[in-house]
Chain A
Amino acid sequence: MDKKQLKKKRIFWVLWLVALILSAYFVPFVLLRDVNQIEASFLFWTIFAVLAIISTIKITSYWSE
């Protein structure tokens, strides 16, 4: 990967992660505020964590020794 590609990927992943983390506040506190079901905040936060895990693993997959 050249310097430009690296920078582009870095910006993309940082923006994606920031958006993902903001969603972990916005969705349960605003959109799912009064939804008292297991399929609401419980499921949302679980999916959020799975996406964060996949994203983190993807970022490390670029590394080479």
Chain B
Amino acid sequence: MNTFYVYLAVIIYVLLGFYIAYKSKQGMKQGVIEYFLDNRSTGGLVSALSYSATTYSAFMMIGLAGFTYSGGVGALGFELIYLAGLSLVAFFGPRFWLVGKKYGYVTPYEMLGDRFENKWVSIFSATSACIFLIPYLSVQLMGIGYLMNGLSGGEIPFLVGVLIASLLAISWAIIAGMRSVTWTDSLQSLIMIVVSVVILFYIVYNQLGGFLAFFKSLETEHATFLSVPGPGFFNFQAFLGLTLPWFFFSISNPQVSQRLFIPNSLKAMKTMIKGFLIFGLVYTLVSVLWGFGAKILIPGLEQADLATPALLGSVHVPVILGLIAMIGITAAAISTVDSIMLTLSSLIVRDLMQSRDEYSDKKQLKIGKIVIFIIAFIGIIFASQQLDLIATLSVASSVGLMVVVPTIFGAFFWKRATAAGSLTSVILGSFTALYLQFSGIKPLGFWPGVWTLIISVISFIVISIFTEPPRKKAKEFMGYLNKELEDKNIL
């Protein structure tokens, strides 16, 4: 086998992606619900695979492996606490799904605006999401740029990788909206998991002498990497600062919380959760072990983010496997980027364009597609700046997105919650996140995520207590939900 087969594999991946995307378009009607939510008719398996591919991005094999390389086992704890955060979906998932169907919501912020009877709640939440999700999207594009650049020994310019990833993501988001995204995501999730597992096994059995010898080497050569704070990066404050925003990821990030609207039944949602959790556990372990493998095989790298590209480009991995891995990581990035583009487009059409009802579905979709191009353009510009540590920037986005968490809890569990409380919480929380992130200040040693959550929770509660809630809507919204929850045994 030579590299010809690898390039063939890349071409097959791209062509198969396009084939699936076009195939998904067949029989699809041209409406907003059809385009942004696949007409709320996605089956369990596709939901599970797509949720996995959307959640797990280039961050896993590059950023998380890099975290492990520089900080040790704390990286595993960090990512598994995120996975445990999926338990929130067991409570919030069916609630989103029920009210989504009943009131016809397309975005999570449309739901909040209606629940609090205040359009500004959805406008500010969506604006905040746009501000914080574009860096997150750029991080994915940067991942591909770093990877191609690293693997080619600098021959492939960083920006070329960024542009290739952007073009594929734009295409697969635009062809049939959520349907082409979920179908191509399913393909990509399979590529991600198969490729990463195969390469891990190759490295462990061919280069590290099997799992037992691998673990033994870790204990003898890098013992401190097996505890926290270990080499120092994962001290308690850093660990808390990183895990807190990620624990709430499943409800705070609209590109995944919007997925709670799309399953065709509760049974499909169950399959989605189950499938994702199993995928997540395997993918997390593989990414962390990959980072540990790099630590043993190529110690001494100055930039931890380069652990994966350097390992793949090293003598320890055959060129062909390295290039196949590149396809796996590219798939991880693109499946996240196209989902974010589609979600941001829906936020702009449904939440920021409050006069949307004056436009036909066709017009809304046309605007949505133009918006996807604009978002991609901004993402490319941001990525081309090559900002610092990829993982930290990705986490910074999660800090900002967390500001909507108190409002989501309030919408479902607190009749006394108000629009003023929500707005204050989102605005103050966003400013706190931005200020602390940009200034680098860590009051009392705690990271921005901790302070952002504290400020948004306190402001939400205090302002809600002193302002008037939408009593009638709260009673109707929660009354409907409580009855359904009881009928369907939902906790």
Partner of B87, one of A17, A29, A33: A17
Q: How far is the CA of A56 from the CA of B272 in the complex (A)?
A: 12
- Give min CB distance, A63 to chain B, whole Å: 5
Q: How far is the CA of A61 from the CA of B284 in the complex (A)?
A: 25
> B490 — which chain A residues lie within 8 A by C-beta?
62-63
> A49 — which chain B residues lie within 8 A by C-beta?
80, 83-84, 281, 284
Q: How far is the CA of A64 from the CA of B487 in the complex (A)?
A: 8
Q: How far is the CA of A50 from the CA of B87 in the complex (A)?
A: 12
**Interface of A: prevailing SS:** helix
Given A36-B224, A60-B90, are A24 and B215 neighbors across the interface (CB < 8 Å)?
no
Q: List residues of B (96-151) whose CB comes within 8 Å of A's CBs.
A: none
Beta-carbon contact of B265 and A21 below 8 Å: no
* Listed residue (A35, A40, A53) with the most chain B CB atoms within 10 angstroms of its CB: A53
> B226 — which chain A residues lie within 8 A by C-beta?
35-38, 40-42
- Give min CB distance, B13 to chain A, whole Å: 30
Q: How far is the CA of A50 from the CA of B491 in the complex (A)?
A: 21
Beta-carbon contact of B236 and A62 below 8 Å: no
Beta-carbon contact of B273 and A57 below 8 Å: yes
Q: How far is the CA of A33 from the CA of B227 in the complex (A)?
A: 6
> B80 — which chain A residues lie within 8 A by C-beta?
24, 45-46, 48-49, 52
> A6 — which chain B residues lie within 8 A by C-beta?
485-486, 489, 491
> A21 — which chain B residues lie within 8 A by C-beta?
81, 84, 247
- Give min CB distance, A19 to chain B, whole Å: 12
Beta-carbon contact of B489 and A64 below 8 Å: yes
* Minimum CB distance partner of A24 in chain B: B81
Beta-carbon contact of B491 and A10 below 8 Å: yes
Q: List residues of B (221-253) whose CB comes within 8 Å of A's CBs.
A: 223-229, 236, 239-240, 243, 247
The reply on B254 being an interface residue by CB < 8 A is no
The reply on B472 being an interface residue by CB < 8 A is no
Q: How far is the CA of A39 from the CA of B89 in the complex (A)?
A: 30
Beta-carbon contact of B266 and A63 below 8 Å: yes
Beta-carbon contact of A60 and B228 below 8 Å: no
Beta-carbon contact of B223 and A36 below 8 Å: yes
- Give min CB distance, A13 to chain B, whole Å: 6
Q: How far is the CA of A6 from the CA of B359 in the complex (A)?
A: 44
- Which 3 A-B residue pairs are closest in the complex by CB-CB distance? A52-B84, A36-B223, A59-B90
A sample of 21 inter-chain contacts (CB < 8 A) reads: A13-B491, A20-B84, A24-B81, A24-B84, A28-B77, A29-B236, A37-B219, A38-B226, A40-B227, A41-B74, A45-B73, A46-B76, A46-B80, A49-B80, A52-B86, A53-B83, A53-B281, A56-B277, A60-B269, A62-B490, A64-B489
A contact set with B: CB distance below 8 Å: 1-3, 6, 9-10, 13, 17, 20-21, 24-25, 28-29, 32-38, 40-42, 45-46, 48-50, 52-53, 55-57, 59-65
Beyond known contacts A29-B239, A35-B226: 11 more, CB 8 A cutoff: A6-B491, A25-B239, A25-B240, A29-B228, A29-B229, A32-B227, A38-B219, A41-B228, A45-B73, A63-B490, A65-B265
B contact set with A: CB distance below 8 Å: 73-74, 76-77, 80-81, 83-84, 86-87, 89-91, 94, 215, 218-219, 223-229, 236, 239-240, 243, 247, 265-267, 269-270, 273-274, 277-278, 281, 284-285, 485-486, 488-491
